[in-house]
Amino acid sequence: MHNVEGEKIYMYFTGNLSIVLENPEENKERNHLHAAGHTCILKDAFDCESATEIANLISTEKVDAALAIHLYKAGRLLQGCKIPFGIIFGGTDINEDVRCEEKHRVMGTILGEARFAVAFTVKIKELAAAEWPDARKKIYVQTQGIKTTPSETFDWYRFLQNAGIPTDVDNLHIFLLICGLRRIKDPLYLVDVFSDWHRKEPSVHLGIIGPAVDPLFTCEVKEKVKRAPGVHLLQEMSQDDLHAAMKRCFAVVNSSISEGMSAAILEAMDLGIPALARNIPGNAAIIKHKDTGLLFSDPEEFVVLSKSLMNDPIMKTEIVRKAKVYVKKHHSWECEGKTYQNLVLRLQ
């Protein structure tokens, strides 16, 4: 799943029911379980108005079990439901939502009802276990597995033209920021400094791509980008085309305020593209600075590190090589699949 931080609910069946999916290309866990013979329905938690809506779906479709991504936003819709379910921590639930007393209470209740929970890192497990000690034994650590599938027919020059990026510039350097357009992802964090850099070096461009998760904030992003030379808000594309676009870019960027585990960073590593990420716990958990990627603490440092990457091809080559080794070792698609297939047995 290319996780752009939508919060999902998966419903699992054991019969030969048809699969109903909103975006089949974004559903990694669904793919793992479908491969094991399960049939699934996907619901986006942002589109669900209440737990009653989910309860009606469970009843109508005779759902056997459920799996929610994000303890609060998706998990609360399963509170008190009559079927077994599991939880995958999203990152912002444990890093941010625990600070709200009401959300903390609700999440504790949901975690108590869940058969199991999955954390992407040991640190996330420990943070969750510190909040709800009774749940420690049901929390499993499974890093995100990565499989990239770049399209062989992707048209890079059409992509640049559609983005409004000149194709006749020498040594073009495209930085790609992939995220859902919402405040926690902070896509505007680098816009001003990047635009200033572009004015001095017209060959550098920043492309922002991702779904409009927060419509109001998306309007804010559009207005800001309109006034920022060198920064482009790009149209969404299929997973295969996105991977192909990433391969042609100079670097992939992450500027989130909070992050569970960024699939975009891991995909960049797998595709042989350097990752520049904001120095937050979720990103630092998968990037070793100047080893498997680069971590920046403010917009100005981002530019300094970007320039060093541009001016030192040997450093870039080494970062890319080590990142690829890291992903292969710690983010195996096959291992992740086995974990979820085994965990779902706990929902029977």
- Mean of the pLDDT values across residues 1-11? 48
- How much is the pLDDT for 11? 53
Residues in Cβ contact with 87 at an 8 Å cutoff, skipping those fewer than 6 apart: 67, 68, 69, 71, 75, 110, 111, 114, 116, 117, 118
**Dihedral class, residue 196 (left if φ above 0, else alpha if ψ from -120 to 50, else beta):** alpha
Question: Does the pLDDT at position 192 exceed 80?
Answer: yes
Instruction: Give the tens place of pLDDT for each residue, 277-334.
Output: 999 988 999 999 999 999 999 999 999 999 999 999 999 999 999 999 999 999 988 8
* 257's tokens: 């305020």
pLDDT of 193 > 80? The answer is yes
CA distance 35 to 271: 24
Q: What is the mean pLDDT of the chain?
A: 87
Give the SS3 label for residue 52.
helix
Given a cut of 80, whether residue 218 has pLDDT beyond it is yes
Rounded CA gap, 206 and 249, in Å? 10
Does residue 95 contact residue 281 with C-beta atoms inside 8 Å? yes
The more confident residue out of 80 and 249 is 249
Q: What are the start-end ranges of the E strands in 210-259?
A: 231-233, 251-254
Closest CA to 91 of 283, 282, 253: 282
Question: Is the pLDDT assigned to residue 78 strictly greater than 80?
Answer: yes
Say what percent of the chain tops pLDDT 90. Answer: 61
For the record, the structure tokens of 107 come out as 């999440």
Distance CA 42, CA 169 (A): 43
Closest CA to 285 of 91, 67, 56: 91
Question: Model's pTM, two decimal places?
Answer: 0.81
| pLDDT value, residue 2 | 36
Rounded CA separation 45/59 (Å): 18
d(CA 156, CA 237): 13
The predicted pLDDT at position 29 comes to 60
Look at residue 88 and give its three-state secondary structure: strand
Report which of residues 16 and 113 the model is more confident about. 113
